[in-house]
Amino acid sequence: MNYEGSCHCGQIAFNVEGDFTSAIDCNCSLCRRRGGLLAFVPRDKFSLKTPREALSTYTFNTHVIQHHFCSNCGVGPFSEGKMPDGTEMACINLRCVPAVDLATIEIQPWDGKSH
């Protein structure tokens, strides 16, 4: 299915294709604070609808994932990175995709704190 997502103010908007039935609830120092529910898709299933210049980006720890957020409203709708095999991925914060019914999503804890 195709979905539209955005930050709160709409300065960052995107389209994503996927069948979202589960999400990761990570406990790393960043995710624990921002409270996202994360789903990964191949990068070619994600398209940014707004200019890349609208993104603010934060990296930490191993600097493998670029965590994008809106400098206006502060919401982090997605991240980008590479898997160990080099596959480019987008990590979608499903809380930023209004058409996804979060009550139907299976939440899978991830111990990012220990990784």
Domains, the chain: 2-114 (2.170.150.70)
Q: In terms of Cα–Cα distance, which of 19, 13, 12 is closest to 100?
A: 19
d(CA 98, CA 113): 28
In the block, tokens 């789903």 appear at: 39
- The answer, as to whether pTM is greater than 0.85, is yes
| pLDDT tens per residue, range 6-64 | 999 999 999 999 999 999 999 988 888 999 999 999 999 999 999 999 999 999 887 88
Segments in the chain forming alpha helices (H): 29-34
| pLDDT tens per residue, range 26-37 | 998 888 899 999
